A and B are shown apart, each in its own frame.
Chain A
């Protein structure tokens, strides 16, 4: 994937170095760093970065004024404000100045990358944005959720699933996603894994102590928690695009195929000692 150019505007040398460090192993490349507004405008014109990170306090102007000056040379400039303070009036003023996103120091690298990806959608491609900004937060939620619910460690992989269907023998919990992007998440596992999962979750001694209903309901409740957490991970970053989850629909049986026409789908698999636990997240194509 082609590197995406970022310009950092910050009067603190330490902050600049930290941001540069955050972006080092990513798809983003720092093409310029400015310590004040005048330098920022000049370097922007020279390098035309895809996105700018903007500090609020600069020696010769504030971040909002600096953003206005950059937007005067390029009305499409993508700017994310990174400041120690973040309040409603700052966000409102910033929006008027054309700033697209606001983050508070200290910055979490994942959040920063998610935000930059989101702002540069056109440059990095829709699938990459969906993967980084939407599928990966679900993968983190799956890994964390499995650990907190049943104490199992897992290796989690995320990959684009181009098959357009999912075959299930066991249980599948379908949870709709509304807002932006619209879609659905399906948490599934084989019957054997489901029983073991439920046994641990309900603290039972043996598999015989678990009814079918308890087993599928354990998975249903866990899926609800995990998908909910994934959506919270996303909403924490994109505060203006609230995503919501529908109540779960749970399917049990053998040889069930769940089709996903018109969805860009990612397969997230957690490999655990009780078996594979998958989460298939699909987002509507189109807009």
Chain B
């Protein structure tokens, strides 16, 4: 068994695709029209054959309640790896991304948390000794 990817529940798929590609810098892998919604996945340009992130509509009634509770407490839904978190934090802030937690050094890892504008918080993490 392998991990092929994961998904985030977004409030608007078109807006999410724009944010995850144009701001975070991922590439579209699938974008298939299924009628009301689409099947959309993105990959990292650094690992185009690697794990995908699906951008799924948060249409289940429980999804919005769950997301709101997570965001209120500042809890990220998932985490992406970066080589240089200070650089990435600066780059994303200059693009208008709102961070709910600036880079914090936890010893072996430095983490920061950003708002994906689609109702989720996303953590970025740099393993120390990597860059």
Q: A and B: real partners?
A: no
**A residues neighboring B (CB under 8 Å):** none
